[in-house]
Amino acid sequence: MGYIRIPCTFMRGGTSKALVFRSTDLPADQAEWPAIFRAAMGSPDPNGRQLNGMGGGISSLSKVCVVGPSSRDDADLDYSFFQIGVENDLVDTSGNCGNMSSAMGPFAVDEGIAPRPEGNEAAVRIHNTNTSRIILSRFPMENGQAAVSGDQALDGVAGTGASIRLEFLAPGGAGTGHLLPAGGEVESTLDVPGVGPVTVTMLDAANPCVFLEPAAVGKTGTEHPEALEADRDCAEKLEAIRCAASVAMGIARDTDEAARIPSIPKIALICAPVDYQTLSRRTVAGDAHDIGVRMVSIGKPHRAVPLTGGLCLGVAVRTPGTLPHRIARQRDGAIRIGHPSGTLEVDAEVVDRGDGPYAVHGAVYRTARRLFEGHVLIPS
């Protein structure tokens, strides 16, 4: 017994971290990749800590990205995202990670996969293979490399970094083919076994999401993630609603199949802006955000908000008739989303093309940083 040594980079993108591989450093047979990724992350781990690998025991720290030359003429690189289960052997490719998307442009430029710009700003077109969508990444350059230092701050991440603007172009239908996959309805009622009728909005932009008011499961929308996770009855109801929405959105044929696709749709409790306390015990005033959210990712309440979930919420806020549009404070400029770690600003443009709403783009600002580079060791 020995080790297989595979070149790898460990990166933070937004509020997530992931192992980033060049596609050329992995086996040509992609059927071999899941076993490599599980071993690298230390999954499955019944203890939920991934101590025997690089994972961090929660969904936002159990991710793998693969970057390679573009397979499309309208992009500079291909980027594939893999969500790795913590306690199980899940290797899920059904959706994208918006946070890690922010690290892909700088990684590709520094690695020579994407062309280096001649000026002081890069504009890299990323083809996300999970969703078949293009993400335009804009970031500053310094001495021929992607800049690291800057003044951009993110709630949930210590310090500041160089600002990265991500524009998710035509994000509608990323997972289902339709912005409004439930028959074009902006608001629907799901009859969920064990829960009853629940009013929801099911919308697919960047990733499919289902939005509902917290009162449907006996909550306020200002709870901390630990409190939501500790309430097993609430967690079971949310999963039942998510599975019912998955079927209604055409993602799964039945609820059993929906349970085996845990990453989409993401489920979110949304509420009108009110004062609340963040995980760091800082008070976010009601007039400092436009809508509150508590989102669940891979069965676990998120400590911030998944970036694609935040973008989907932004598009929903800009789509007339949806639950988020009705609940949110409507104002010009960025949409300020209140989450457990603070706030996230997103931009979204939705237009009516005559045959229904069309999402032109969703945009957000992030930071990223290369943390470690070398080899990941896989037991042979």
Cα(5)–Cα(7) distance, integer angstroms: 7
What confidence score (pLDDT) does residue 236 get?
Answer: 96
Q: Residue 286 is which amino acid?
A: G
Write down the domain spans for the chain.
Answer: 3-173+367-379, 188-352
Structural contact between residues 202 and 265, judged by C-beta atoms closer than 8 angstroms: yes
Can you give the length of the chain in residues? 380
Stretch (H or E) spanning 245: helix 232-248
DSSP state of 16: E
Q: What secondary structure does DSSP assign to 200-234, as a single string?
A: EEEEEESEEEEEE-GGGGT--S---HHHHHH-HHH
CATH number for domain 3-173+367-379, candidates 3.10.310.10, 3.10.20.30, 3.40.50.970, 3.40.50.300: 3.10.310.10
- CA-CA distances (angstroms) from residue 318 to 173, 174, 268, 334, 342? 16, 17, 17, 11, 21
The domain made up of 188-352 has a fold known as: Diaminopimelate Epimerase; Chain A, domain 1 (3.10.310)
Give the chain's end-to-end CA distance (angstroms, integer): 6
pLDDT in tens, 305-320: 988 999 999 999 999 9
**Contacts of 207 by beta carbon, 8 Å cutoff, 6+ apart:** 95, 96, 98, 131, 174, 175, 264, 265, 266, 306, 308, 309, 311, 312
Structural contact between residues 380 and 2, judged by C-beta atoms closer than 8 angstroms: yes
What confidence score (pLDDT) does residue 297 get?
Answer: 86
What confidence score (pLDDT) does residue 86 get?
Answer: 95
What confidence score (pLDDT) does residue 139 get?
Answer: 98
Structural contact between residues 14 and 135, judged by C-beta atoms closer than 8 angstroms: no
Residue ranges for the chain with pLDDT beneath 50: none
pLDDT in tens, 336-364: 999 999 999 999 999 998 889 999 999 99
What confidence score (pLDDT) does residue 371 get?
Answer: 97
**Domain 3-173+367-379 identical in fold to domain 188-352:** yes
What confidence score (pLDDT) does residue 292 get?
Answer: 98
Helix axis angle for 307-317 and 98-111, nearest 10°, is 120
